[in-house]
Structure 1
Amino acid sequence: MLRLIRSSLRWKLLTVIVSILILVLAAVGVFSFVDTSRTIQSDVERFSSQIMKQANLNFSRYNRDNEQFFVSIGGSTEFADWLKADVGDRYELFRSYRAMEQKYIDPFVRFHPEVLSVRMYNENGNESIYRSPGVKYNLILRTDYSMAQESWLKELTLSGRMVRLTNQSSHYTDGIGRPVKTPVLTFVQKFQYGNRDGYLAVDISLMPTQEILQEIGLGQESEGVIVDQNGKIIVHQNVGRIGEQIPSGLMEEMSRAESSSFFYENQMVVDQRVPDTDWHMLVIVPYEEVAQSIYRVKNMTILIAIAGLVVSTLLIFLVSGSITKRLKELRKTIKVTDAGRFDVRVEVKGTDEVAELAGTYNRLLDRIESSIREMTESRVFQQEAVLSALQAQINSHFLYNALESINSMANLNDQEDIGRTAVALSNMLRYTSNYQDTVVTLEEELSHLKDYMYILNILYGDEISLDVEMTDELRRVTCLKALIQPFVENSIKHGYEVTGEKMTIRLTAAVWNERYLRIAIQDNGEGIPESKLEELQQMLAQEVTDRDYKRLSRIGILNVHYRIRMFYPQAHTGVTVERSEEGGTIIGLILPLQQGGAA
């Protein structure tokens, strides 16, 4: 088996991946078992907090609406008039009570059926009671009730603050008059107007808050509860537990806990404070319910891991076979290529990386074949260029001797202009036919141009002039040989020789874009037609290969552009053509800024 694994890429791949899968699944299983408890606890806490936040929001809104209702009555002028009424002044008592009922009580109770009663009591004995119809909760305040019976009445002081009281009230009956014990939240406050002391109390049913707690429902054994600052249960899902005291140990944990959740006696407790009160809303979840999820996750993890290992092994076996088969075909083709055959291609199957590799190898073979053809053509072209250069050199020697003879005869006959013309022409021929020096200084280029302009002045007199603007430092910059003179000749050919008008050619050189030299050759001729200019600019923008050189060498501008691009591969190098504002043509030569052979 070990020998089979070593000799087969397929079995190597299968062994490595299955081993990795086993290690990963084992690590995941251990981590899952260790970390699931913490994760589920965090999830339960977050879920509980979200639900409690919504429940807390509902309870706060419910509590705030009732508080505002109480404050509206207590601060009204109608309530003040009711307190000021004399004993037995039934008219004033009825008028002020009726005004409160119509203005505050009836509109509020119509949308808040949890209001059970509104009671007003004056220490002089006056008393008025509003009894809710009890349609929703079927609770009505007893007819024989009086606030004077309340035990907490004497404990209230003129603190200016509303007091909340919760208890299991026995002052209410059901629809058929039977006494009912119901959880009630009482808002009560002592008031004083002038020398009259009185009390206002509003009973709110806690049954809606029980409904809010019932909605939390985090488990069958979980419970929701609202307690006051002393640990007394105000609201509970179980009505019978209202008024009980929560364990003191739980109260201590609540005061010590740094976060909103903690464990107490194998129970997870989530605690949130009720806004604008000293109350706390608690959700208590037994750990057994949380642990059930942990055990379920552990068992499912094991089952899924085993099933996944089996399925993954089968899939890896099938997929690895597809991959290794195509790799074998690629290896076979490479061996054929190594034997010297470049016409065999790999059959591309699929769209994955192996298929991309096969396609890339095919494209590589295509490029090798293309490169071989281009190299063959390039060698033929180089041989033709060498033969052409040798032929030109042979012709040049004959021309040099002939020009030297003309110069000697001119000197013997005192024809200085003819002699100088012959010397200038000889200098130009020597300059262009010297194939050993391809790079010269701008000073040498200007000297070559000077000989050319001397011959032109002999031919045309002062009809053609040349202005050169260049610093001494730039004259020492190097460039390719015979770049400038062809463009000056081109300007004369398409300008002066066509129009016969005087022509001025301006030659400037300057540093361009910090690292380049820009030579500008500008004439004042008619300029290149727009159609021809656009065609030239498009051809200059194209990439040129050796194969195109013979075709382009017939066009002077493109010939020079090709030479520059081949010798200087840097970006931006080459020839540019544009029209000047005066109507002439501007030829731009962009070269690397080099001096003495260094960049």
Structure 2
Amino acid sequence: MFRFIKSSLQWKLILMISCIVILVVITIGGFSYYKSARAIESDAQRFSNQILKQATLNLTRYINDNEQFFQTLAVSQDFQAWTLLKPGDTYQNYTKLKDMENRVIGPYINFHQETLSIILYNENGNQMVYRNPIRDAVLNTEYSFSDSGLKEKIADTGRIQSFVQLRNDYKNSNGQFIRIPILTYVQKLYYTDQPVYLAVDISLLPTQQILDQIELGKNGQAIIANEDGKIISAPDLSMINANLEDSLVARMKSEASAYLYDKSKMQMVVYQSIPKVNWRVVVFVPYKDLAQRIIEIRNWTAAIAMLSLVIAIVLVYLVARSVTRRIKVLRRTMTTTKLGRFDIRTDVKGTDEVADLAETYNLLLDRIDSSIHQLAESKMVQQRAVLSALQSQINSHFLYNALESINAMANLAGHQPIRKSTIALSNMLRYTSNYKESVVTLEDEVKHIRDYMLIMDHLYPSELEFRFEIQAGIEQSACLKACLQPFVENCIKHGYEMTGERLRIVISAYRWENDYVRVDIEDDGAGISGEKLSEIQEALGQVQTEQDFLQLSRIGILNVHYRIKTFYPHHSLAGITIERMADEGGTRVSVIFPNKPKERTGG
């Protein structure tokens, strides 16, 4: 089986692409499931926090309004006046209570109908009770504050205290006693020699409505607990005054709000604190409510992945078979070509890459015969090139002999300038006609320039001044042959020969930018015009072909620049730069190449 797959491109493609598809589908499906599960959990946490913030805000407003009303009533003049009344004065008691109702109680209750009753009690035995006529729950007419047991719970701190109880002393509209959760605000006050008590009963049923609006999962449950973990409000009245688990209570005391997971009960717990009263709104959401969505995503992901795999493998088989069927035809043709049959052509239809490959192969076969003839002609051309090179060597040898003869005659005649010029010219000819070596040392290139300068000095005596400034340690750096002499020649051609004025040329070589050698050829001639300078700089900045360079007139500058760029393609700073030294004249040409030692050749 393995050998069969190894020898068949079709099954290789099927196996390879199927593995890739399976890997991609599993990776995408697994990642999608993982991220979806995380996103659901994150969204549940974020949404629960937002919902609890809104619920906490409503509860805070609810509590703040009640406390503010209680404080307003406690400091009102009507209440203080009532504390001075004696028991049994029914008319004055009624009058003061009516004044409080008109000025303080009535406006507040119109907007806060959760207030059930207001109890005013004096230690002298005087007691007045205001009952909210709008509510269905009405306090029993036989209610006595002193017998309620609330008086004994009040600490003498001078502050408002609150108590939550399931009370049985309220009746509904049918006169039947009902059991409802009551939040009682009470305070012990001293306006006379004897203490007085002010108590306000507030129904907690509105808080239950707020809790009912918190929807976090189908089986989620929301409650309100005090700082000690006792439940003070819950949709299920049987839970009121029950205690939360100690671990959760400890967590609530250390953190005002949190999001946690209870592993023992498999539920998510989210809570936030209510300011001032230090209560906590706590929500319990079973994990199965969250996991239900995750399980659905997992099942759908697995089903879609399996279906996609089946479809993908079928498509892979069809595509691989379509591609490899034509490749097999091309392979058979290539096999016959290996046997020496160049007359058989492959017949592959289509417009894709395989068809192009077959067409190209047929075209290759068509051109093999002509290539054989071209190869024969090429050999003829090579023979001619060899003969031409031999002839060039013969001509160079003739020139060397002629220069040696001139040197000998000048020496016999005592013409030393002619002799020295002849030797310099012979050195230059040998240097430039050596085609075996295109890279020399900087020292050799400078010596070549000195030979040229010697000839020019004899040609223009006392008109040219040359100076060399070569930094130590770079003499053996590799340098392209004949890359400096053309610029020295340009200095003389466009300087002295154009103006006839004495010319000074300075050639300085030094290390530059750590990894480069820079050679500056400077003259103090008339200088190049701004228009010409811009034209040359623009040409130097363009990336052109060899043919483009050969067609330009400034062969010296651009040809050397092209040679350097071609020889050092990975060194962006290598090349030629040209600039005007000053407004009154002078030109500087800089040749830049990497600072590398010349490799020694064996021989």
- Report if the CA contact (8 A) 2:41-2:290 is conserved: no
- Aligned-partner Cα distance in 1 for 2:450–2:348: 63
Q: Which residue does the alignment assign to 2:455?
A: 455
Name the counterpart of 1:579. 580
Quick one: distance in 2 between partners of 1:505 and 1:567?
28
User: Aligned AA for 1:326?
Assistant: V
Structure 1 segment 11-160 matched on structure 2, within 5 A: 46=45, 50=49, 53-54=52-53, 57-58=56-57, 60-62=59-61, 64-66=63-65, 68-69=67-68, 72-73=71-72, 76=75, 78=77, 81-82=80-81, 85=84, 87=86, 102=103, 109=109, 111-125=111-125, 131-132=131-132, 134=134, 137-139=135-137, 147-160=145-158
The one-letter amino acid of 2:595's match is L
1:473-492 per-position Cα deviation (integer Å, ceiling 9, x unaligned): 33343322222111111122
Q: Give the C-alpha shift of residue 516 in structure 1.
A: 0.8
Over 3 Å counting, the alpha-carbon distance change for 1:488 and 1:305 in structure 2 is closer
The 1:480–1:331 alpha-carbon spacing in structure 2 relative to 1, beyond 3 Å, is farther
Query: Is residue 52–residue 214 contact of structure 2 (8 Å, CA) maintained in 1?
Result: no
1:82–1:93: 8 Å Cα contact kept in structure 2? no
| 1:212 correspondence with 2:207 | no
Secondary structure, in 3 states, of the residue corresponding to 2:474? helix
Query: Is the CA contact 1:505–1:524 (under 8 Å) kept in the aligned structure 2?
Result: yes
Shift of residue 514, structure 1, vs aligned partner:
0.6
CA distance in 2 between partners of 1:358 and 1:161 (Å) = 95
Question: Which amino acid letter does the alignment assign opposite residue 199 of structure 2?
Answer: A
Q: Percent identity?
A: 36
Query: C-alpha deviations, 1:161-188, integer Å up to 9, x for none?
Result: 4332223445556678776654321111
Give the C-alpha shift of residue 524 in structure 1.
2.7
Equivalent AA in structure 2 for residue 577 of structure 1: I
Q: Which deviates further from its counterpart, 207-216 or 520-529? A: 520-529
How much does 1:94 deviate? 7.2
Q: Map 1:94-493; keep pairs closer than 5 Å.
A: 102=103, 109=109, 111-125=111-125, 131-132=131-132, 134=134, 137-139=135-137, 147-169=145-167, 181-193=179-191, 195-217=193-215, 223-228=221-226, 233-239=231-237, 241=238, 243=240, 245=242, 251=245, 254=248, 260-262=260-262, 268=267, 270=269, 272=271, 274-276=273-275, 277=277, 281=281, 283=283, 293=292, 297=295, 305=302, 309=306, 312-330=309-327, 339=337, 390-493=390-493
SS at match of 1:586: strand
> Which letter maps to 2:271?
Q
- Find the counterpart in structure 2 of residue 495 from structure 1: 495
Query: Structure 2, unaligned stretches of length 5 or more?
Result: 253-258
Aligned residues of 2:549 and 2:555 also touching (Cα < 8 A): no
TM-score by length of 2: 0.73
Pick from 585, 593, 597 the counterpart of residue 595 of structure 1: 597
Residue identity opposite 1:592 in structure 2: P
2:537 aligned partner: 537
Alpha-carbon offset, residue 578 of structure 1: 2.6
Task: Note if contact 1:22-1:309 (Cα within 8 Å) is conserved in structure 2.
Answer: no
Is 268-277 or 60-69 further displaced after alignment? 268-277
Provide Cα deviations, 1:108-141, integer angstroms capped at 9, x if missing partner.
545433233444433345556555563xx55555
Q: Which deviations, in whole Å up to 9, do the C-alpha atoms of 1:8-42 show, x marking residues without a partner?
A: 65566667888999999999999x99x9xx99997
Deviation per residue, 1:310-346 (Å, 9 max, x gap): 56324421243124422444565577678599x9999
> What's the TM-score once normalised by structure 1's chain length?
0.73
TM-aligned CA distance change 1:401 to 1:293, over 3 Å:
closer
How far apart are 1:281 and its partner, in Å?
A: 4.8
Partner Cα distance (2:482, 2:322) in 1:
61
Asked if the contact 2:83/2:196 (under 8 Å) is kept, the reply is no
Contact 2:188 2:195 in 1 (8 A): yes
Assess, with a 3 A threshold, how the Cα gap between structure 1 residues 214 and 597 changes in structure 2: closer, same or farther: same
The answer for the alignment partner of 2:520 in structure 1 is: 520
Task: Calculate the aligned-residue CA RMSD, in Å.
Answer: 5.5
Instruction: Evaluate the alpha carbon distance shift between residue 460 and residue 187 of structure 1 in structure 2; reply closer, same or farther with a 3 A threshold.
Output: same
Q: Deviations over 1:566-595 (max 9, x none)?
A: 444441222222332344332111112133
Q: CA deviation at 1:535?
A: 3.6
Gaps of 5+ in 1: none
State whether residues 218 and 289 of structure 2, in contact with CA within 8 Å, keep that contact through their aligned partners in structure 1.
Answer: no
Question: Secondary structure of the residue that 1:508 maps to in structure 2?
Answer: strand
Distance 1:115 1:123 in 2: 24
In 2, distance between residues paired with 1:516 and 1:47?
A: 62
CA drift of 1:512 comes to 1.2
- Whole-angstrom CA distance in 1 between matches of 2:561 and 2:380: 22
> Are the counterparts in 1 of residues 48 and 216 from structure 2 also a CA contact under 8 Å?
no
SS at structure 2 position matched to 1:394: helix
